[in-house]
A and B are shown apart, each in its own frame.
Chain A
């Protein structure tokens, strides 16, 4: 089965270099050369990362021949944020039920203990 959008996005975000690139792009668009500066990494290596981010829809790159500015696509991360929120809420509710269950079980045990 092909990867789903969210998993592709997560895979793109799994790398600290790529997250750092995104954080930089959040401040405004940039060239590949500029982006590469903070990392001790070759331009081809940075380009590989950019390709991953682009394929995940997290960044877009301009088409100008010489200089292909990279810019962030915040919409893609909103999808992640929304998903995190839903998943978190789902687990919150589930753990509430677990809590109730654990209390009920222990109350039952204590009551049984008192009767004997």
Chain B
């Protein structure tokens, strides 16, 4: 049987890519894909420990969405929404996820107004050695309107997201001090 799960590799970035995380699972690809695409399965692992799913509605098709509510141990509720863009069974899911409210509107992070409004997320499922390698890429979607106006519609790099050595740069610069 395949080896025990190596812990990430965590956040690797490669030039020109969005922020990336990879993980391997000792499970067939179809099962991992199902874990992401069946609401009864999502309930089992998506929310943090101690959270109860209080509502869950999934319409799995491009343009459809998954809307869910979770109750935290302290009684507060959090809603999330994933709007699907692409679904290619069993290898790829592209969606936009964001915080939501009970009515299904897109909202900001309840506790952090500076959290990006929407995240474009890509999930890739690859077979490997009897198991599955999951690759998750994401980037914030809500680019500044002025930004787009400044550079015109041809400026693709903004829409694709940010990437490459970003977190290395961020970490380095966060420690750098202008002297």
Contact = CB atoms under 8 A, between A and B. Distances in A.
A10 B46 CA distance: 26
Contacts of A43: none
Interface residues of B, number: 60
Contact of B117 (A4, A19, A81, A87): A4
Given A19-B169, A72-B176, A102-B31, A7 B146 contact: no
B51 to A, nearest CB: 11
Contact of A81 (B8, B142, B174): B174
Contact of A15 (B117, B142, B158): B158
Interface string B147-176: 100110001011011111111011111111
Contacts of B160: 14
A6 B140 contact: yes
A87 B21 CA distance: 11
B178 A74 contact: yes
A68 interface: no
Interface in A27-75: 28-29, 48, 51-52, 55, 71-72, 74
A4 B45 contact: no
A15 B148 CA distance: 12
B14 to A, nearest CB: 13
A97 B25 CA distance: 11
Contacts of A88: 10-11, 21
Interface in A75-106: 77-81, 83-84, 87-88, 91-95, 97-103, 105-106
Interface in B72-115: 108, 113-115
Interface residues of A, number: 50
Contacts, number: 153
Contact of A7 (B23, B45, B117, B157): B117
Contacts of B8: 92, 95
Contact of B116 (A6, A52, A74, A77): A6
B158 A14 contact: yes
A22 B166 contact: no
Interface of A: 1, 3-8, 10-16, 19, 22-23, 26, 28-29, 48, 51-52, 55, 71-72, 74, 77-81, 83-84, 87-88, 91-95, 97-103, 105-106
